[in-house]
Structure 1
Amino acid sequence: MTDLNELMGSPFVRVKLVAFVHFFFISNAMLGSWAHGSFEFYNFLFLIAMFWTMHSKDSIEAVQTALVINASSIFFDLVNIIVYFHGMNGWAIAFAIINLILRPVSVALLYREFNTRGGTLQTGSVFPTSQQRSYQDIDRPTQPTPTNSQPGPNVASIF
């Protein structure tokens, strides 16, 4: 049992496991005709974000993107299953429901990966704050003037 805990403690195994499990269930759920492409669209975005997370092993943004898409997919899955339940075959609807049940577990695993990579949830980065931020004028950058240097040619006189 400790081997399983060590295996799940590895960050790359968590991401690959989440990607593989959702790929398996999404591909089986797509055997039905879904919602004029909405089911395929957000699940395709989720799988792309998971591949990006696997590729960029140190990127916090990749995990955050996959986490947000996966968390919002819980709501989207519910809507698609409820609205299109009557027109689906049993195979596709069963895999869609299993995929929906597994989403909170994968959200927890992705959040753990997000924390492992050093990400923190800060509301100040998303919502405006009342803190005063420093402003840097990029039109007129300030350059320190050397104190003991000889004056050079006047470049401004050329123009």
Structure 2
Amino acid sequence: MTDLNELMGSQFVRVKVVAFVHFFFLTCAMMGKWGHGAYEFYNFLFIIAMFWTIQCKESIEAVQTALVINVCSIFFDLVSTIVNFDYMNGWAIAFCIINMVLRPVSVALLYREFNTRGGSLQTGSVFPTNQQRSYQDIDRPTQPTPTNSQPGPNVASIF
């Protein structure tokens, strides 16, 4: 059992396991006769975000995007399964429900990866603040004034 804990504790294995498991269950769930494209759309976005997370091993934004899509997908899976229950066959229903049950586990694993990469869920990192940030005007570079020099002529009096 410690081998599994060490494996899931590895930084990049978590993301690959989450991507593979969801890819497998999503593929099986999409084999049913669905009458819409919403389920395919948001799950396609999730898989793309997972591939982005695998590719960019240091990116916090990639994990954050996959995490947000995965959290929203829990609600979307529930609504999509309820609305389209009559149009799906048993195979698609079973794998859609299994995928929906596994989403909270993958949210926990992605959140762990998010923290490992240095991300935090502070409101200032997601939403803009009202604090004034320092601004450097690059069009007009300023020259440092020497501290021990005598004041020069008043240029403002010319105008």
The two structures share one fold, judged by TM-score above 0.5: yes
Question: What's the % identity of the aligned pairs?
Answer: 82
Q: Which runs of 5+ in 2 are unaligned?
A: 148-159
- Name the structure 1 match of 2:60: 60
- Name the structure 2 match of 1:73: 73
Give the partner amino acid of 2:42: Y
Residues 60-83 of structure 1, C-alpha deviation per residue, up to 9 Å, x if partnerless?
Answer: 111111101111100110110010
- Name the structure 2 match of 1:112: 112
- Name the structure 2 match of 1:97: 97
Give the partner amino acid of 2:94: A
- Name the structure 2 match of 1:39: 39
CA distance in 2, matches of 1:130, 1:41: 36
Q: Is the 8 A contact 2:29 2:92 kept in 1?
A: yes
Deviation at 1:144, TM superposition (A): 4.7
- CA RMSD after TM alignment: 1.8
SS in 2 for 1:86: helix
TM-score (norm 1): 0.85
Give the partner amino acid of 1:82: I
SS in 2 for 1:137: coil
CA distance in 2, matches of 1:23, 1:73: 14
TM-score (norm 2): 0.85
CA distance in 2, matches of 1:109, 1:136: 41
Give the partner amino acid of 2:33: S
Deviation at 1:128, TM superposition (A): 3.3
- Name the structure 2 match of 1:157: none
- Name the structure 1 match of 2:27: 27
SS in 2 for 1:75: helix
Give the partner amino acid of 1:42: Y
Q: How many residues are treated as equivalent by the alignment?
A: 147
SS in 2 for 1:98: helix
Q: Is the 8 A contact 1:35 1:80 kept in 2?
A: no
Q: Is the 8 A contact 2:35 2:87 kept in 1?
A: no
CA distance in 2, matches of 1:119, 1:138: 31
